Amino acid sequence: MKFGGTSMAGSERIRRVANIVRRQQAAGHEVAVVVSAMAGETDRLVGFCREANPLYDPAEYDVVVASGEQVTAGLLALTLQALGCKARSWLGWQLPIHTDNVHAKARIEGIDAQALLTSMAAGEIAVIPGFQGLSDHGRITTLGRGGSDTSAVAVAAGIGADRCDIYTDVDGVYTTDPRIVAKARKLKYVTYEEMLELASVGSKVLQTRSVSLAMKEGVRVQVLSSFIDDDATPADEIPGTLIVSDEELARLTENVDMERQLITGIAADKNEAKIILTRVPDRPGAVATIFGPLAGANINVDMIIQNVGRDKGETDVTFTVPSADLLRAQTLLEAQKEAIGYNRIITDGKVAKISVVGVGMKSHAGVAATMFRAMADRGINIQAISTSEIKVSVLIDEDETELAVRVLHSAYGMDAEGEAA
């Protein structure tokens, strides 16, 4: 079971969480619980790091931001004990959860689950702070924002859990963020592939890496709400959204008469920033000198456009990076100005990426055309485009995000009543 930041925000909510956990144990399950920091806490800690040093050392950043989860893990163990349950916390370095050395976005390499299994078999509820791990240099690492989902899936895989229930503040995965589009529909099932693509383009209901890990390890993941009454449908009856393989989906929906939607979902991501380098020499190796140093600094570049060369053998190169990395990227590129040979660097943090996702695209033409037409009709300007086999993304002005998502949700006929499958 994993509980997110909103579910853990304050003693009252932690008591509700403890009750949900206790009920699962009473239903006969052995339970491991992964928790997030209280909502807003990680942002607050990141703020302190920025104030201390804008170009902070990621290793020390990890020491600071991992602390939020330590607090909630201890508090949940205490609250469970107050309810008469046996419980104890297991910090990332105690298990340990082994990660690589890439601070602030570390990858889990393995979990020593034996001690956990022994304690769980003895009836003790294991409470594990999400988001944190231990590098092979013996230092605390964190897994990137939203990383507790990945911790939960990794623990589930490590102990061979039947299911990984991700409790949050919405009761499942919807066709788009239900906080933006009131007419969003709850999905009963989503395949790993679809969820992976949705998460990677901004449906932050699950961290992308948690989905790829679940897919790789075959962990069945359910997204469901922690804001429930005592008489709510039990988690074992799958009241939320189940994320499963294509094969399991086929099995589950065998007797259900349904046509899979062409589009599974729409996502928005405001956490990207645009960088334009003007008048880059139009010759072999030019883009390599731009993107090499960014890769070396672990900055992920997403959309890339290289315009058709201007006269005099020059071209403009436009691309996006995570907003959190914009300052570092800019500093790096400015240091490389001579080597790259560009004229000006222009940055814009006020952009959003809107994406439509669906496996149906593989076999249907016209998905992108519908998108561009719908946006044009509302006067929304498209600054960049990228596509994959099951996704089309466009970059627009951040102020138009909500409008664009609503317009597209209607344009693909997703506003209808009832539940989709």
Binding site residues, Mg ion, CB under 5 A: 4, 146
Query: Which of residues 145 and 274 has its CB atom nearest to ligand ASP in the complex?
Result: 145
Q: How far is the CB of 268 from ligand ASP (least distance, A)?
A: 18
Task: Take residue 33 and report the two structure tokens written for it.
Answer: 């619980």
Query: Which of residues 140 and 303 has its CB atom nearest to ligand ASP in the complex?
Result: 140
Q: Judged by CB under 6 A, which of 92, 146, 322, 358 binds ligand ASP?
A: 146
User: Could you say which residues in the range 181-200 bind ligand ASP, by CB under 6 A?
Assistant: none
Cα gap 119→116, rounded to integer Å:
5
Task: Take residue 218 and report the two structure tokens written for it.
Answer: 């075959």
Only one residue has tokens 């979902």, namely: 265
Tell me: does residue 8 bind ligand ASP (CB under 6 A).
no
The one of Mg ion, ligand ADP, ligand ASP, none whose footprint includes residue 169, by CB under 5 to 8 A per kind, is: ligand ADP
SS (H, E, C) 267-286: EEECCEEEEEEEEEECCCCH
Q: Judged by CB under 6 A, which of 6, 42, 99, 318 binds ligand ASP?
A: 42
Query: Which of residues 124 and 177 has its CB atom nearest to ligand ADP in the complex?
Result: 177
**Which residues does 310 contact at the CB level (< 8 Å), separation at least 6?**
279, 282, 316
Using the rule CB under 6 A, give the single segment among 24-32, 35-43, 184-192, 291-299 that binds ligand ASP. 35-43
Q: Residue 136 carries which side chain, given as an amino acid letter?
A: D
Question: 185 near 419, Cβ under 8 Å?
Answer: yes
Beta strands in 196-251 (DSSP E): 221-225, 241-244
Query: Which of residues 135 and 148 has its CB atom nearest to Mg ion in the complex?
Result: 148
C-beta atoms surrounding 65 within 10 Å: 24
Task: Take residue 211 and report the two structure tokens written for it.
Answer: 């989905």
The one of Mg ion, ligand ASP, ligand ADP, none whose footprint includes residue 174, by CB under 5 to 8 A per kind, is: ligand ADP
Query: Which of residues 30 and 69 has its CB atom nearest to ligand ADP in the complex?
Result: 69
Q: How far is the CB of 34 from ligand ASP (least distance, A)?
A: 9
Q: Which is it for the CA torsion 73, 78, 84, 89, positive or negative?
A: positive
Number of residues that bind ligand ASP (CB under 6 A): 13
The one of ligand ASP, ligand ADP, Mg ion, none whose footprint includes residue 133, by CB under 5 to 8 A per kind, is: none
Instruction: Write out the residues near ligand ADP by the rule CB under 6 A.
Output: 4-7, 36, 146, 168-170, 173-174, 176-179, 203-205, 265
Which of 398, 409, 396, 415 is CA-nearest to residue 370? 409
Cα gap 29→23, rounded to integer Å:
9
Cα gap 137→106, rounded to integer Å:
13
Q: Judged by CB under 6 A, which of 3, 61, 90, 131 binds ligand ASP?
A: 131
Query: Which of residues 170 and 390 has its CB atom nearest to ligand ADP in the complex?
Result: 170
Question: 222 near 189, Cβ under 8 Å?
Answer: no
Query: Which of residues 187 and 394 has its CB atom nearest to Mg ion in the complex?
Result: 187
Query: Which of residues 144 and 146 has its CB atom nearest to Mg ion in the complex?
Result: 146
Q: How far is the CB of 44 from ligand ASP (least distance, A)?
A: 10
Q: How far is the CB of 242 from ligand ADP (least distance, A)?
A: 14
Task: Report the run of H or E that residue 52 belongs to, with start and end.
Answer: helix 41-52
Q: How far is the CB of 203 from Mg ion (least distance, A)?
A: 11
Cα gap 343→333, rounded to integer Å:
12
Only one residue has tokens 């998905």, namely: 367
**Which residues does 257 contact at the CB level (< 8 Å), separation at least 6?**
none
Query: Which of residues 2 and 185 has its CB atom nearest to ligand ASP in the complex?
Result: 2
- 178 cis-preceded (ω within 30 degrees of 0): no
The one of ligand ADP, ligand ASP, Mg ion, none whose footprint includes residue 170, by CB under 5 to 8 A per kind, is: ligand ADP
User: Could you say which residues in the range 63-122 bind ligand ASP, by CB under 6 A?
Assistant: 68
Task: Take residue 215 and report the two structure tokens written for it.
Answer: 């897919």
Q: Which residues bind ligand ASP (CB under 6 A)?
A: 4-5, 36-37, 42, 68, 130-131, 145-149
